[in-house]
Chains A and B, each alone.
Chain A
Amino acid sequence: MKKMNRRSFIKLSTVAMAAASGTVYTSKAKWTEAASKTPPSITRSFSVCNSCGNRCNIIAFKRQGRLWRISGNPRDNKTGGKICARGHAYAAMVYDRYRLGTPLKRMSNGFEPISWEQAYEEISDKLKDILRKNGPEAIFWSEYSKPISNFYGARFMAALGSPNWTTHASTCFAARNVGFNHTLGGLPTGDYENTKYVVFIGRAPADGIGTSILKGLPMAKQKGAKVVAVDPRLSYSANSLANEWMAIRPGTDLALLLAWIHIMIKENLYDREFVSKHTVGFSDLEAAVSQYTPAWAAGITGLPEEQISRVVKEMAAAKPAAFVEPGWHAAYGSNYRNSTQTARAIAIINALLGNLNQPGGLCFYSGANLGSLDSSRHQAPPNSPYKRVDGAGVAGKYPLALGSGLHHLLPGLAKEGKFKAGFFYSINPARTVPDREYVVSGYKNLELSVVIDWQFSETAEHVADYILPESHPLERDGIVEPISARMPQVSMQSKAIEPVHPGARGLDRIVTELAQAMGFGRYFDFKLDDLNKAMLFPLKLFPVHLQQRGPQVAGGAWDYGQTMFRTPSGKVELASGTFAEHGFSKVPIWESPLIEPSSGEFRIIHGHQAYLTHSQTINNPYLVSIAKDYHGEAIWINSKKARELGIADGSDVIVSAKGYENKVRCKVTERIHPEAIFVPAGYGSFASKLERGFELGISMNDFVPHASEDISGHAMMQEAVVSIRKA
């Protein structure tokens, strides 16, 4: 046998890599002849990106059968064919050595690989035991909301009789949705490309990427639209996309919005015809905001009175092609005590602008008219007869909270013994929910915890009893999903490559097999393909059309002008009777943040960077390299405050809050409000198996206490203060 030394191995592997990558233009002659060459064998297939919640359509390029790179799909009406760094880097994870390939069981000395049969048998035995002893209420499902788990996770819980199918909403967008639902009857989308004036309240669409916004907004700006960013921080979005930055004091957006409503009514800047025909509660609103003068708002927000008055007048002059952007997590998705009423105030301003379903305004685009499984052939499980244990939608608890629940409450309920078993799908509460100790120690009380994911996470490493490896999304089909746009489409995550890890399985298969093991197989007597065919049936399409051609048009073009709203009154509810019924103010009124920084303290604010998604991407080699090259983990502090504290740009600081402190690099900048410390999201990994990003930076969740807001029940993730000192 011929032995290979290190040197020859490297030489060989370099040659092999060149061959695999099909690099043809290596020599001068070859560069010059490039134009006459035929490209190496490259095939492409269509799918949907899973790097975040945007669900952008992508094209996966394979070279000699191996996934090479990913691009956006120009036929996606929402994105126009652009994807972000996370989407491009997604290709790198398919062959990554850190992927999960076999079911794992926690033993006293770490995780041990087991067979799927053993995993199903042990998990189903334990679940049956819990069902018998504690009932289906003691079981929950928690997920980072995705189409595949919206269906399979919810159906699995219904099959078991559990009411506790849960998503990440309460640490993301719960307050926004509750506020908009109870005002406009749903969540509209901005008609970016036709607008003349847009105000972003804390949302930074080029930092927390919104591909559809980044498609439309530059077009509008080209035509002269003005963009205003209201944000305690000059994000990259605010810097490049906005004409004007309103550097507001964190947590006071509601005061600004109330003053804007005040000015619009007092100076008759609102759409009187729309308000009289399509809204209820105007007089209540008018009375409530009479006290909120621009001078009052200036005192609370720290913004100049002139700016407050001028911006709303400019916006009103551009109506109806003007809107206050509905946001996502941003400033009020789940951040402050006043966030739900902040969302209501934003919805109300848009109604006063008369911009709903108008060109350049906010539109309720129609989605595709999709079918469903024939329930006479495939028996659907009945809805659970029980109330949600987390109290969402339950009288006396959180009656107005979203039906997808309050996932940040689950660890505490596990500690109280109300939950005995939990499933975690593609979600990582141990890192993404405030108060690590509360979350991890709470979940450790579960008798059974099952993590389903394609990579490790803090929850997998520190909580899970069993880890079930999911195949990578590019290795399997997903569920048909609608794309809401002026020209609605349907798309489907489609298998792009042969599975790298044959031991990993799709969620549809995992849930179906687990249900069979539990004796509930009758609710899963179909394949994913049958479901997709049923969903596409009304559109006269088949899954193969989406697999082979990418997104398809689904129904006719949407038209402006609709004025029916899905509220109890059928109109825009400037005053909400439902809020009043439950003891909440029927119109937004000023409420300060719950916690105010005292002298020497800072409010801790957070946000996305364009190249990281929550805690999911910290082990992606291409993305974490960006963070490491540019010190993305650095927290931001205002220059003047830094001088006072003797902190130099690029130096380490100690961040501390009650009982916890950690060291991190600091960026000293004029781009942030003196009262705030900005902590980028996605860092502070404490899962040692996420080796590349392990312990890089800090997470705001180590400093934010566990809490819940009253109306929508969200986690109030910016109701926290910290102290900073030189390291």
Chain B
Amino acid sequence: MGQYAMIIDSNRCVSCFACRVACQLQNDLPPELSRIKFTEQEKGVFPDTRVLVLPTQCMHCDDPPCVEVCPTGASFKREDGLVLIDYEKCIGCQYCVSACPYSARSYNPRTKTVDKCTFCAPRLAQGQGPACVEACITGARIFGKVDEEGSPVQALLKDQRTNQVKGTLMYYRVGEKWLDEIPADAHRPAYASRLVTRQPVGTALLGLSAGAVAASFVLTRVRRSGEGDHDEKD
């Protein structure tokens, strides 16, 4: 069974939040609970300024710490790569919330269980893509199976500007200049506070999540030469 991949092209993301709200309605989430979080980093001095917008959510780790710490076995990894929660087994202890390196899990007071992105598994089962992908106005989200011949996902995975978050199903496309900005010690939490300037209220760990994403870029960045460069937006 081929694994899924989600690619977020941050050059195209306009931070409009259509994905967030579409996800919330699709998955019956209360307004205060979002599976998608936005971080941004500003670079340059007026008027030579640019902003990196980085939406994050569950990365669906290959070796998920949330599954490891779950005392009831509610969190599990499916064969197609999706990390899911068995809500009937979840007791809401939130060990996984602390364990998640990307701060992608939250407690849902409505269901009294932990909640996170499922890549809209129920929609996948019906042959549809995730709600956030369907909703994205500028086409910044691309989703599919990595082994599907000729799919947009496969084409983009061959592109050197597509960077996998190491050991996960998530990929990001960012301008070269943003990659160069990320220092080698990016995995240290100190870096996170520099990266994140737009931090959701009450989500102190989010900085860490963006830092973890950035670190993974560095750790997994594989230069593929001879596959054609693409114009950078600016």
Residues of A within 8 A of B (CB): 14, 17-18, 21, 23-28, 31-32, 34-35, 37, 39, 68-71, 82-85, 87-89, 91-92, 206-207, 209, 211, 214-215, 218, 234, 236-237, 239-241, 243-245, 247, 610-611, 621-626, 628-631, 638-640, 649, 669-674
> B1 → chain A, closest Cβ, in Å?
11
A27 touches B42 (CB 8 A): no
Determine whether B3 belongs to the interface, using a CB cutoff of 8 Å to chain A.
no
Q: How far is the CA of A91 from the CA of B26 in the complex (A)?
A: 11
Chain B residues in 8 Å Cβ range of A68: 25
* Given the contacts A630-B200, A631-B201, A31 and B25 also touching, CB distance less than 8 Å: no
In the bound complex, CA of A649 to CA of B194 (Å):
13
* B12 is an interface residue with CB less than 8 A from chain A: yes
Nearest B residue to A307 via CB reads: B47
- Knowing A239-B51, A629-B201 are in contact, say whether A88-B87 is a contact too (CB < 8 A): no
- How many Cβ-Cβ contacts under 8 Å join chain A to chain B? 173
Contact between chains at A91 and B87 (CB < 8 Å): no
CA distance A236 to B50 in the complex (A): 10
Q: Are B110 and A639 in contact (CB under 8 A)?
A: no
Other-chain residue from B24, B51, B131, B201 in contact with A671 (beta carbon distance below 8 A): B51
Question: 28 interchain pairs (CB within 8 A)?
Answer: A18-B111, A26-B88, A31-B84, A31-B121, A34-B125, A68-B25, A69-B26, A82-B18, A83-B135, A85-B20, A85-B21, A87-B18, A88-B21, A88-B135, A91-B25, A92-B31, A206-B14, A206-B16, A214-B137, A240-B14, A240-B53, A610-B17, A611-B17, A626-B21, A649-B197, A669-B42, A670-B46, A673-B47
Q: Is B21 a contact of A240 with CB atoms below 8 Å?
A: no
B22 to A69, Cβ gap below 8 A? Answer: yes
B76 touches A28 (CB 8 A): yes
Please name all residues of chain B whose beta carbon is closer than 8 Å to the beta carbon of A26 when the two chains form the complex.
86-88
Which of A24, A215, A236, A624 sits near B16, CB closer than 8 Å? A236
Chain A residues with CB under 8 A of B31:
92, 621-622, 624-625
- If A84-B137, A88-B135 touch, whether A234 touches B49 (CB-CB below 8 Å) is yes
Bound-complex Cα distance A640 to B12 (A): 29
CA distance A640 to B49 in the complex (A): 14
> Which of B46, B53, B74, B76 makes the CB contact (< 8 A) with A640?
B46
**B2 partner residues in chain A, CB cutoff 8 A:** none
A610 to B53, CA, bound (A): 14
Residues in A neighbouring B13, C-beta threshold 8 A: 240
The answer for the CA separation of A621 and B25 in the assembled complex, in Å, is: 12
Distance in Å: Cβ of A572 to nearest Cβ of chain B: 33
Main secondary structure, interface of B, reads loop
Whether A82 and B14, one on each chain, are in contact in the complex, defined by CB atoms closer than 8 angstroms, is no
Query: Would A70 and B25 be within 8 Å (CB), given that A611-B16, A649-B197 are in contact?
Result: yes
Contact A28 B134 (CB under 8 A): no
Q: How far is the CB of A627 from chain B (nearest CB, A)?
A: 10
- Chain A residues with CB under 8 A of B86: 26-28, 31
A240 to B40, CA, bound (A): 12
Interface string of B1-34 (1 = CB under 8 A from A): 0000000000111111110111011101001101
Q: Which of B21, B198, B203 contacts A622 (CB 8 A)?
A: B21
Distance A189 CA – B32 CA, assembled complex (angstroms): 38
Q: Are B22 and A71 in contact (CB under 8 A)?
A: yes
A17 engages B110 (CB within 8 Å): yes
Closest Cβ of chain A to B112, distance in Å, is 7
7 closest cross-chain pairs (CB), A and B: A247-B47, A206-B14, A610-B16, A34-B125, A69-B25, A621-B31, A88-B21
Q: Which of A27, A32, A638, A670 contacts B44 (CB 8 A)?
A: A670
Closest partner residue, chain B, to A241 (CB atom): B14
